[in-house]
Chain A
Amino acid sequence: MMRKVAIVGAGMTSFVRRALETPKELSYQATKVTLDSCGLTLDDVDCIAHGTAPDAFDGLHQNGEYMVDGCGGWNKPTMRVYVGGGTGIHAVVHGWHHVASGLFDTCLVVCEEKMSSALPHAQAFFLTIFDSITERPLEPNLLWIFALEMNRYMERYGYTKEDMALVAVKNKQNGLKHPASQFSEKVTVEDVVNSEMMAYPVSRLDVSPVSDGAAAVLLASERVARRLTDKPVWIEGVGWSLDTAYWATRDLYYPRYTDTAARMAYDMAGIREPDKEIHVAEPYDPFDYKALHHLEGLQLSPRGKTVELLRDGHFDIDGNLPMCPSGGLLGVGNPIAAAGTMKVCELFWQLRGEAGQRQVPGNPRRGVAQSWGDLMQVSSVVVVGN
């Protein structure tokens, strides 16, 4: 029998292009502020679930082991998960297991990424994720797969670059109100469309930045949660899925992995009509088109109608289904694993009415966060409610 699991605390570092802090120190800052947020100390923590994406970014192989003391893992049961960009939410799912199983009453979930360590550019290290024999000799670049997917997605529904740019504009606008955001400038559709062409159809401002940062949440069993707070945010459903790594052999216009993961999470949460029952969504948005792509996979928007809804303000903070009120990866920053966890932090704050200027009106009671990664094949989904 699974136990109920609540989020009782959340915290993060500022997301920055290049941090002075070491990966351990970033982890410590996010973890400490999370503990402080719910008045706990390390003694109250039973176990740690932590995550970072490719070790190559931090340049520390076994980065999970390296950062463990910064995550509060000293002498505690600690386990790292890794599913590339999906790690940030997958780690929360992983932490949920620890508490739902009855094995532990509290679990700290900490994700960190320090991408500035990687030279000449973090992107270079992605060369090694492609099939070493059938793909790597072509000297692929990470942008290729995004560009290929974005092009396929746009072609399928007749979307334009301007349509996609609307997401970047909206998310970056939301991000301006996030105290941890890496950005301070508003952008327009023209800015996005006219920014440097990297890999058609991907321009520079279609892409989230390279960032350093960490984020954490504290999970607790119902008994502990009720003692700690009168505003617990419950994890009502979790889901995850990996599609085949033969990525070129499945049609890229639809994220099947997100569909599968979302349905698993909704089933657990007893949600039948996600577009009506979800009040706030944080789909993974490393690229602007990805937010829309994922909204469709999350069953929050009919396939091919998403741009129409976007243009109608459906996904604005005061719309029917606010999307990425945090600003997302495009608006806050994208320290890979930490970015996913940041989305869960955002839902925690939104559902408690603590999101300040970004607060979604109307007391949202249910939210979904999703992250995505590996070779365009994994999704991790968390549904929360209060």
Chain B
Amino acid sequence: MEDTIKVAGGTGLTADDIKSGKIFLTEDSLDCAYAWDTGVAVNRYLAELKQGKIIATRCKKCKRTMLPPRLFCELCFIPCSNWQYVQDTGIVNTFSICHVHWDATRIGKDEKPHLPAVIEIDGASEGMGIMHLLGEVDPEEIKIGMQVKAVWKPEAERTGSIIDIKYFKPL
């Protein structure tokens, strides 16, 4: 059967074309930085992390205890003003063993793979996970459903950041 579909353009260049210097290229980098206000709810979240505690907000209508805490419940669309401490333990909802840095460069031979996970925090509503890292665990041993606990930075090193928790380790 005749393929009648219409294709035009899309001239592929090879790595050799680029190396040959015959292809004119212009390079630029943004060279800029951002600073973010943390906002009302997350500011409290970070302040509590600095104290070694995890705090959530609770929606009085749907009764969800939510992480990260938020100023409003996105389902009920009403303000959330009830704050509630939750545990620093939880279960692994899902995880990965990642051999690639954020910029897609490969991790070095001596580097350990990153172990990102979604962790459902005890005390928050079912399914309320946060993304964080796992540590002190053999990657082969990680299982979905595994119980884990936060490993905090020493108090003096905490800055009010999500990385005040170094990682979560198996209980």
User: What residues of chain A have their CB less than 8 Å away from a CB belonging to chain B?
Assistant: 10-21, 25-26, 28-30, 32-34, 36-37, 59, 120-124, 127, 131-135, 137-141, 143-144, 147-149, 151-152, 155, 179-180, 182, 196-202, 212-214, 244, 246, 248-252, 345, 349, 354-359
Q: Chain A contacts of B20 at CB under 8 A? A: none
For B100-139 the 0/1 string (1 means CB < 8 A from A) is 1111110000000010111000000001111111000001
**Contacting chain A: which of B66-74, B79-87, B147-155?**
B66-74
- Pull 23 A–B residue pairs with CB atoms less than 8 Å apart, ordered by A: A16-B11, A18-B14, A20-B11, A20-B13, A29-B10, A120-B105, A133-B162, A134-B130, A139-B101, A141-B100, A143-B96, A144-B131, A148-B95, A151-B94, A197-B97, A199-B98, A199-B100, A200-B97, A250-B127, A354-B4, A356-B1, A356-B5, A357-B1
Ranked 10 nearest A-B pairs via Cβ:
A356-B3, A29-B9, A14-B10, A147-B96, A13-B10, A121-B104, A16-B12, A124-B103, A199-B98, A200-B97
| A199/B96 contact (C-beta < 8 A), A14-B9, A19-B11, A357-B1 known | yes
Which of these, A144, A196, A197, A355, contacts B5 with CB under 8 Å? A355
CA distance A197 to B106 in the complex (A): 10
Q: Residue B51 at the A interface, CB < 8 A?
A: no
Q: Chain B contacts of A13 at CB under 8 A? A: 7-10
Q: How far is the CB of A198 from chain B (nearest CB, A)?
A: 5
Q: Chain B contacts of A15 at CB under 8 A? A: 10
Tell me whether A252 and B1 are in contact (CB under 8 A): no
CA distance A155 to B93 in the complex (A): 10
Q: Residue B144 at the A interface, CB < 8 A?
A: yes
Q: Chain A contacts of B23 at CB under 8 A? A: 20
Q: Chain A contacts of B59 at CB under 8 A? A: none
CA distance A141 to B116 in the complex (A): 10
Which of these, A21, A147, A214, contacts B98 with CB under 8 Å? A147
Which of the listed residues B1, B2, B39, B103 has the most CB atoms from chain A within 10 Å of its own CB?
B103
Tell me whether B8 and A29 are in contact (CB under 8 A): yes
Q: Chain A contacts of B3 at CB under 8 A? A: 179, 354-358
Q: Chain B contacts of A248 at CB under 8 A? A: 93, 118, 129-131
Q: Chain B contacts of A37 at CB under 8 A? A: 6
Q: Chain A contacts of B9 at CB under 8 A? A: 13-14, 19, 21, 25-26, 28-30, 33, 214
| A18/B94 contact (C-beta < 8 A), A123-B103, A249-B128 known | no
Tell me whether B96 and A33 are in contact (CB under 8 A): no
CA distance A251 to B38 in the complex (A): 26
CA distance A26 to B4 in the complex (A): 20
Tell me whether B1 and A359 are in contact (CB under 8 A): yes
Q: How far is the CB of A194 from chain B (nearest CB, A)?
A: 14
Q: How far is the CB of A10 from chain B (nearest CB, A)?
A: 7
CA distance A122 to B130 in the complex (A): 25
Q: Chain A contacts of B127 at CB under 8 A? A: 249-251
Q: Residue B42 at the A interface, CB < 8 A?
A: yes
| A144/B96 contact (C-beta < 8 A), A18-B13, A151-B144 known | yes
Q: Chain A contacts of B141 at CB under 8 A? A: none
Which of these, A26, A144, A147, A200, contacts B10 with CB under 8 Å? A26
Tell me whether A137 and B161 are in contact (CB under 8 A): yes
Tell me whether A140 and B96 are in contact (CB under 8 A): no
Question: What 17 additional pairs, Cβ within 8 angstroms, besides A152-B93, A248-B129?
Answer: A10-B6, A11-B5, A13-B10, A15-B10, A16-B13, A29-B9, A32-B8, A122-B104, A123-B102, A133-B46, A140-B102, A179-B5, A198-B100, A202-B96, A246-B66, A249-B127, A354-B5
